[in-house]
Amino acid sequence: AQKVTQAQTEISVVEKEDVTLDCVYETRDTTYYLFWYKQPPSGELVFLIRRNSFDEQNEISGRYSWNFQKSTSSFNFTITASQVVDSAVYFCALGGGYQKVTFGIGTKLQVIP
């Protein structure tokens, strides 16, 4: 069975601070995909990143960066110099092949001006 754990349910930071959202996953699949989605107050799911289980390279996209470590089954997400517009719920998710995607419960990030 697949499982995604996001231990932080809510985080508050002051604008311009860096913040890391944790994600730990469990799967028996050897090939799997990890995702991060952003859900702003408007409710839609905004795709942020997809990572293949064979690719452990960290990725940076602007103020966003992701640290994938298979040894600890973690796929953490860091926002550098946070902004108020980053306030949202962030979901880590796990998918294997064409199967369903399993979501974590989400981390609600509040960036205070």
Partner 1 sequence: EPEVTQTPSHQVTQMGQEVILRCVPISNHLYFYWYRQILGQKVEFLVSFYNNEISEKSEIFDDQFSVERPDGSNFTLKIRSTKLEDSAMYFCASSEASLGGDYGYTFGSGTRLTVV
Q: Please answer whether residues 21 and 77 qualify as being in contact, where contact means their C-beta atoms are separated by less than 8 angstroms.
A: yes
Out of 5, 15, 33, 65, the only residue in the binding site for partner 1 (CB under 8 A) is: 33
Instruction: Verify binding: residue 75, partner 1, rule CB under 8 A.
Output: no
Out of 16, 99, 110, 112, the only residue in the binding site for partner 1 (CB under 8 A) is: 99
Specify the residue, 2 or 80, whose C-beta has the smaller distance to partner 1.
2
Least Å distance between CB 42 and partner 1?
9
- Give the span between the Cα atoms of 80 and 112, in whole angstroms: 14
Identify which range of 18-26, 36-44, 63-71, 72-80 contacts partner 1 by CB under 8 A.
36-44
Specify the residue, 104 or 109, whose C-beta has the smaller distance to partner 1.
104
Query: Which positions touch partner 1 (CB under 8 A)?
Result: 31, 33, 35, 37, 43-45, 47, 50, 52, 91, 93, 95, 98-106
